[in-house]
Structure 1
Amino acid sequence: MIDEHKDSAVNNSRRNFIKNTALAAAGFMIVPRHVLGGRGFLAPSDRLMVAGVGVGGKGQSNLASIYNGGKSEIAFLCDVDDRRAANSIKSFPKAKYYKDYREMLDKDGKNIDGVVVSTPDHNHAMIAMAAMQLGKHVYVEKPLSHDIYEARKLTEAASRYQVVTQMGNQGASGDGVRQLQEWYDAGVIGKVHTVYCWTDRPSWPQGILWPSTNGEVPKELDWDLWLGSAPYKPYIEKLVPFNWRGWWDYGTGAIGDMGCHLVEPPFRVLGLDTPIDVQCSVGSIYVDEFKRGYFPDSCPPSSHVIMTFEKTKKTKGNVQIHWMDGGIKPARPEELGPNEPFGTNGVIFEGTKGKMMCGVYGADPRLLPLSRNNEVHTKQKIERIKGGVEGHYWQWAEAAIAGYGKMQLSSPFEIAGPLTETLLISNLAIRGTDVQRPKANGKGFEYPGRDIKLLWDKENLRVTNFDDVNQFVKREYRQGWSLGM
C-alpha cells in the first residue's frame, strides 16, 4: 500500500510550492523562467521543459513526437515499469528518471513546464490534476479520464488553473475532420439526423472472468504504483502492458480506446454536447447451452450503443449516434458499391440531402456516392494544422510556450471533457447490462439494465431512472490516492 502520510506530505509540498512561487514573483525583480509572467507562462524564447508519466508504448511515441516538433526538451521521465521505460531512457539519456510521479512533482516541479500523461486510463485524472495544480500545462492520452466525474473536474480545473491542455486524440488536428466540417457547413449533405461509428476493437480479451491464478510480479515493475487509484488485487499475467483495457477497474473498453477517434468527427462537425439518453445491447458469451456468462469485472466482447443528442442549430431535430464495436458494423450504404472499401473502423453521417463518411482519426473523408467527390468543390474556410495529425503534439507545445489563452487548440479539455463524458455515459449503459438482481420467485437472476434506456442528468452527473449505474459515475479511490482537489 502507498503510505497515506507520504501522499499527504506530497500534497502539502505541492501547495507550498504554489504559495512560494507566488511570493517569489512578488518579491524579486529578477525571477526564474518558470515564474516569469505568472502561472503557466513561459518566455517566448524558451523551450518547453517536458515530463512524461508513462513513457513506454504510446507514451514513448507521444514524447518522441513532442520532442521532434523542435520546441520541447524531454527533461523528466516517470514510469512504474523499468522495462517499459527503457527505450525512452535510451532516447533521452539526459532526462531524470522517476518511478512515482508524486515524487517527481515534489522534487522537480519547479523545473517542469508541461506534463504528458500516457498511463492506463484509471490513473489519468489524478496525475493530470496534480500537474495542473502546480500550474503545469498537460497533454493527456485519450480517454481523458476513467470516470465521468473525473472528466468534469479536469475540464473545470483547466480553466481554474489557466493551463494549456490537449487530449491525445490526434485526429482532431487532422485535415479530414476539417474537410467534413466544410462540406457540412456548405450544406452538401443537408442536416444530419443519424451517425454510425464502428470499430473492430477490442483486440484484447473481454467478456472473461478474472483469472484465479496469481502471477509473479516482475522485478522491474512496482505493482502497487501501477494499481494507483484502483482497488488492490494480486498481480496476474498478461495484464500489463496492454490487456488492462478490458477490465473495468483500469480501462474503459473499446469505446474508451477508439471513441475519442471515431466519435470526435460528428461531435465537432455537428456541435454536439453530452447525450440526453443512451441505450445498448451487448454480445454474449455462454458458459453452457442455456446460461449466459456473468462477467461484471470485464467489458463485454461486443456492444451496440445508441446515444441521443439534443437538436443543435446544425442538425435536423435530435441526433442519434450508433456506436458499434467487437466487429459489429452498420449496413453498407446503398450509395457505396459492393467492392468499394467500407473499412473496419469508420463513421457515416446520414443527412437530409446525402451522406459522407471517414475512417479512424477522421481520415479519408468521402462523399457518397464516391462519384460526388469529383463533382463537389467547396472553398477551404477552416485553417489546417501544420503537420496535421502529427501537428497535434506540436500545437500543444507551441501553445504552452505562448501561454494560456494565446492559441486555439484542437482538443483542449473544454472540448475533450464533454467528448470523454459522452463515451463514459455510454459505458454506463454497457455496464448496466450486467446489473444482476434475484428474481422475485427466488429462482435465478434477472438483468433489468438490458431492457431500458438510461436518462442522463448532465448538471447533476447522474442517471435519473436506473440508480444502479450511478456508482460508476464516480468511483472510490484506493486509500492513499486522491484527485487532489
Structure 2
Amino acid sequence: MTEEKKDLGTGSSRRNFIKTTALAAAGFMIVPRHVLGGRGFLAPSDRLMVAAVGAGGKGQSNIANIYKGGKSEIAFLCDVDDRRAAASVKAFPKAKYYRDYREMLDKDGKNLDAVVVSTPDHNHAMIAMAAMQLGKHVYVEKPLSHDIYEARKLTEAANRYQVVTQMGNQGSSGDGVRQLQDWIDAGVIGKVENVYCWTDRPSWPQGVLWPSTNGEIPKELDWDLWLGSAPYKPFIDKLVPFNWRGWWDYGTGAIGDMGCHLVEPPFRVLGLDTPIDVQCSVGSIYVDEFKRGYFPDSCPPSSHVIMTFEKTKKTKGNLQIHWMDGGIKPARPEELLPNEPFGANGVLFEGTKGKMMCDVYGANPRLLPLTKNAEDRTKKRTERVPGGVDGHYWQWAEAAIAGYGKMKLSSPFEIAGPLTETLLIANLAIRGTDVQKPKENGKGFSYPGRDIKLLWDKQNLRVTNFDDVNQFVKREYRQGWSLGV
C-alpha cells in the first residue's frame, strides 16, 4: 500500500468517514470540520484553522500577519522553546500549546486545516511533509528546505497530496518584482546578459570552529526536539535563537537566508530553471601566516558564487547570476552617479539595451540611469497581489480556504522548490571548497573542490564531475527522525 493510499484509507480519515456517514443518515444540516475530514477540505463559511510550528521570532511575525488577513484562526501553537513562544501565547491565549509537532498532529490533526512552519532550516522539510501527508495546507519559511533532495520531495508532495503551499519569501508578492517583470516583458532593457545579487549578510558567526565548551541548556528549551533531524551535539551558548544559520548541520548560510529574497526576482522574471553548473570562491580565515583555516562545519565568512542557467526567451544566451555575500559587491554601474546609493543588499540586471536594479524583496525597482524612471511609460501588465508584500500571507490563507488549484499563488512549491534547489546547488560549490584530502606525498592536505566548476545533473540530483559534494544533496537524519517518504 502506498503512503498516499494509507493516509486516505486508514486511521483518523477512516473514522471521520464513518462519523460523516452516520451524521448524514441522521439528517444533520451542519457538520463540524473535524467530522467532515477529507484531504484539504474546508467548509466555505469557515475560517482557516492554523497551527504554527515555531511560534517565536519569524514564526511570531508569520502567524501575526496571517491572522491580520481576517480569514484565519491561530488555533495551535508549537515551539520547543517556551521563551520564544511566550509572545505568541500571550497574543493567542485560546490556542492550544504543544512542544512536539508530532504530538500535535497526532492528537489534533483532525482539528486543523493548515500548518505554518517557521523553525530552523534543518527541520522545515520533515514537518511540512508530515502535515501534507495529513492533507494539511502548508506555509513554510524560507528556504523551503535544508537539502536539495528535501526540496524536490516537497515539490512532488504538494502535487501528490493536492494541498495549497507557499514559501515565506514575501517579496514574491510585492509590486516591485512585478514592475521588473513589466520592464523585462516590454523589452525596456533588452535581453539580459548578466545578473548580480549581493548581501551584507552573514550577521552571525561563520568561518569558525565548534566551541569546545558546552553551555547549560535553558530549562525552557527542549534541546533534543530543537536538534530534530540533525546529529546530536551538546548544547552551546548563543547558538539559539539565531546563530545556527552559520552551521551546516542546521542552516544554509547567507544564500539560504537571503537568496530567496534576492535571487527570486531574476529567477521569476527571466523564467529560469535550476542551474546547469556552478563555481565559487570563498573568503578565508587565516590560522597562521601561510595557511587558510579549515572549518568544514561552518559556512565561510564570505563567498562569490557564479551560477549558469540555460538560455530563456528573456536572456541573450546562457545566463550567469553572480551571488555575493559577506559584504562583497559588484562594481558600481557607470550609470549611477558617485553619490547615488548602491545598497547593502540588491540585484542588478545588465541587458543589451540598458540596466535595472532593485533592493531586497524586489523592492524599489529602478531603471539606470535614475533619470529614466521619471520618463518611463511602461504599462502595468503583470497582475498585482492585493496588499503587496503583506498580501503574501493573506493570499495563502484565502487559497487554502478556496481549495487546491482554485487560486494563483506567488510562491507555491512548484516555484519555491526549484528556487530553493538553485540556492542549495550553490551551497554545494561553497561546501566543496572545504573538501580535504591528504596529498600523495603524505605532507599536508589538498582541496580539490576549490578551483573547479561543478556540473549539475538535474534529473538525478547529483554533481557529475566531483562526487565528494553529493553527500550534501541528501543528508542522513538522526535516528528516530524521518522525512516520511
Question: Aligned equivalents of 2:229 and 2:171: distance in 1?
Answer: 29
Equivalent residues in 2 for 1:373-388, closer than 5 Å:
373-388=373-388
Does structure 1 residue 20 correspond to structure 2 residue 15? yes
Equivalent residues in 2 for 1:206-225, closer than 5 Å:
206-225=206-225
1:429–1:18: structure 2 CA closer, same or farther, 3 Å change rule?
Answer: farther
Does the Cα contact within 8 Å between 1:34 and 1:42 map onto a contact in 2?
A: no
Distance apart, 1:484 and its partner CA: 1.2
Question: Aligned equivalents of 2:213 and 2:219: distance in 1?
Answer: 19
Does the Cα contact within 8 Å between 2:7 and 2:134 map onto a contact in 1?
A: no
Does the Cα contact within 8 Å between 1:174 and 1:389 map onto a contact in 2?
A: yes
For 2:12, the aligned partner's letter is F
Does the Cα contact within 8 Å between 2:126 and 2:484 map onto a contact in 1?
A: yes
SS of residue matched to 2:342:
coil
- Give CA deviations for 1:27-65 in whole Å, capped at 9, x if unaligned: 653553256484112122110000000100000000100
Mean Cα deviation higher: 312-321 or 463-472:
312-321
Question: Aligned equivalents of 1:23 and 1:378: distance in 2?
Answer: 58
What's 2:276 paired with? 276
What's 1:100 paired with? 100
SS of residue matched to 2:449:
helix
What's 1:406 paired with? 406
1:15–1:305: structure 2 CA closer, same or farther, 3 Å change rule?
Answer: farther
- Give CA deviations for 1:282-339 in whole Å, capped at 9, x if unaligned: 0000011111110000000000000000011221110000000000000000011110
Distance apart, 1:352 and its partner CA: 0.6
Does structure 1 residue 365 correspond to structure 2 residue 365? yes
Question: Aligned equivalents of 1:473 and 1:187: distance in 2?
Answer: 37
What's 2:130 paired with? 130
Question: Aligned equivalents of 1:372 and 1:15: distance in 2?
Answer: 62
What's 2:79 paired with? 79
- Give CA deviations for 1:122-151 in whole Å, capped at 9, x if unaligned: 000000000000000000000000000000
Does the Cα contact within 8 Å between 2:166 and 2:412 map onto a contact in 1?
A: yes
What's 1:256 paired with? 256
**TM-score, normalization by structure 1:** 0.96
What's 2:338 paired with? 338
1:484–1:339: structure 2 CA closer, same or farther, 3 Å change rule?
Answer: same
Does the Cα contact within 8 Å between 1:34 and 1:113 map onto a contact in 2?
A: no
Equivalent residues in 2 for 1:145-156, closer than 5 Å:
145-156=145-156
Size of the aligned set, in residue pairs, is 475
Does the Cα contact within 8 Å between 1:435 and 1:448 map onto a contact in 2?
A: yes
Distance apart, 1:185 and its partner CA: 0.1
Question: Aligned equivalents of 1:116 and 1:210: distance in 2?
Answer: 31
Distance apart, 1:236 and its partner CA: 0.3
Does structure 1 residue 291 correspond to structure 2 residue 295? no
What's 2:3 paired with? none
Equivalent residues in 2 for 1:10-49, closer than 5 Å:
16-22=11-17, 24=19, 29=24, 31-34=31-34, 36=36, 38-49=38-49
Does the Cα contact within 8 Å between 2:16 and 2:36 map onto a contact in 1?
A: no
Does the Cα contact within 8 Å between 1:41 and 1:404 map onto a contact in 2?
A: no
Distance apart, 1:25 and its partner CA: 5.2
For 2:441, the aligned partner's letter is N
Question: Aligned equivalents of 2:371 and 2:435: distance in 1?
Answer: 48
Does the Cα contact within 8 Å between 1:348 and 1:358 map onto a contact in 2?
A: yes
Does the Cα contact within 8 Å between 1:14 and 1:106 map onto a contact in 2?
A: no
Distance apart, 1:111 and its partner CA: 0.5
For 1:16, the aligned partner's letter is G
Does structure 1 residue 439 correspond to structure 2 residue 434? no
Distance apart, 1:20 and its partner CA: 3.5
Equivalent residues in 2 for 1:214-253, closer than 5 Å:
214-253=214-253
Question: Aligned equivalents of 1:444 and 1:382: distance in 2?
Answer: 57
**Which segments of 5 or more consecutive residues in structure 2 lack a partner in the other structure?**
1-5
1:106–1:363: structure 2 CA closer, same or farther, 3 Å change rule?
Answer: same
What's 1:181 paired with? 181
Does the Cα contact within 8 Å between 2:278 and 2:455 map onto a contact in 1?
A: yes
Question: Aligned equivalents of 2:200 and 2:442: distance in 1?
Answer: 39
Question: Aligned equivalents of 1:78 and 1:480: distance in 2?
Answer: 20
Identity over aligned pairs, percent: 86
Q: CA RMSD in A?
A: 1.5
Distance apart, 1:24 and its partner CA: 4.9
